[in-house]
Amino acid sequence: MTTNARIKVAVIGAAGRMGSTVCRAATAAPDLELVGTFDLGDDLGDLAGADAVVEFSVPGATLANVRHCIERGIHVVVGTTGWDAAKLAELRDALTAHPGVGVLIAPNFAIGAILMMRFAEQAARFYESVEVIELHHPGKVDAPSGTAARTASLIGAAREAAGLGAVPDATTLDPEGARGARVDGIPVHAVRLRGLVAHQEVLFGTEGEQLTIRHDSFDRVSFMPGVLAGIRGVAAHPGVTVGLEHYLGLD
């Protein structure tokens, strides 16, 4: 009988809320071996012989950390937010010298959040009005959330493809910004509240009806099946993949 070798995993941001949860999940998974843990100030070196690295740090550090991995031919599963078009372009550029390396950028690893984004994209063309409300713990440093930005961008693209114009909004006086941010033309509102983990509502409205799509992560364990699926799948997906849905047959 042959036994498959375990996937060697290292975690960057290992002391954080997500990184520490990933370390516990990787240690408990029979097909994974946690070989290295790194946090702010640590020398990443050759990342302890890892086959794949999981990266949950801060938006300002993630690109440099990912580059460090791919320059050593190591696949990377990235949960850190803040990946705009310019950063993704830099990443794709860095990967041209390492075409066999896989990098997964996942704005949200929770299966329900991935489905919420997909359902919102599908609903978008049927509704004149839409707003995204994301709600998170007050320790979160970035707003809007990566999930909200991605949701708004998917909705914006679906509306454009359907020939819908701007969302209706008569506001002309809003000195304090009470109408929220706009991401690809979609209003996005961020709430920070003690006791929350990660939550989002997408509100759709048209004449005489409303559709609300809501997802709640009550615990960071909700992200772990997706992170483990990312670790198991990343070597088979060379190049940059944005969104875990592409590993789950939801293309």
Ligand X SMILES: O=C(O)C1=N[C@H](C(=O)O)CCC1
- Which amino acids are annotated catalytic? 136, 140
Angstrom distance (rounded) from CA 131 to CA 222 = 25
Assess 70 for contact with ligand X (CB under 6 A). Answer: no
**Of 47 and 203, CB closest to ligand X:** 203
Among 9, 13, 101, 133, binds ligand NAD (CB under 6 A): 13
- Mark 138-177 as b/e (b = at least 16 C-beta within 10 Å): eebeebbbbbbbbbbbbbbebbeeeebeebeeeeeeeeee
Closest distance of CB 31 from ligand X, Å: 25
Instruction: Work out which of 107, 144, 156, 243 binds ligand NAD, going by CB under 6 A.
Output: 107
Please list every residue from 203 through 242 that binds ligand NAD, using CB under 6 A: 223
- Judged by CB under 6 A, does residue 95 bind ligand NAD? no
Residue 184, judged by CB atoms within 10 A of its CB (0-12, 13-18, 19+), counts as: middle
Residue 6, classified by CB atoms within 10 Å of its CB into exposed (0-12), middle (13-18) or buried (19+), is middle
Stretch that binds ligand NAD, among 27-35, 46-54, 55-63, 85-93 (CB under 6 A): 55-63
Among 57, 62, 65, 108, the residue binding ligand X under the rule CB under 6 A is 108
* 43 burial level (CB within 10 Å; 0-12, 13-18, 19+): exposed
Q: Tell which positions 113-152 bind ligand X, by CB under 6 A.
A: 136, 140, 145-147
What is the SS3 assignment for 55?
strand
Residue 69 makes CB contacts below 8 A (sequence gap 6+) with: 44, 47, 53, 55, 75, 76, 101
Which residue type sits at 142? Answer: D
User: Distance (Å, rounded) from C-alpha 57 to C-alpha 171?
Assistant: 38
- Residue span 190-219 as binding mask against ligand X, x where in contact by CB under 6 A, dash where not: --------x---------------------
Q: How far is the CB of 145 from ligand X (least distance, A)?
A: 3
86 assigned binding-site residue:
no
Query: Which H or E run contains 215?
Result: strand 209-217
In the complex, the smallest distance separating the C-beta of residue 107 from ligand X, rounded to whole angstroms, is 5
Angstrom distance (rounded) from CA 87 to CA 140? 20
Q: Closest CB to ligand NAD among 57 and 151?
A: 57
Residue ranges of the annotated binding site for (S)-2,3,4,5-tetrahydrodipicolinate are 137, 146-147
Give the residues lining the site for ligand NAD (CB under 6 A).
Answer: 12-13, 15-19, 38-40, 56-59, 61, 65, 79-81, 106-109, 146, 223
Give the residues lining the site for ligand X (CB under 6 A).
Answer: 81, 107-108, 136, 140, 145-147, 198
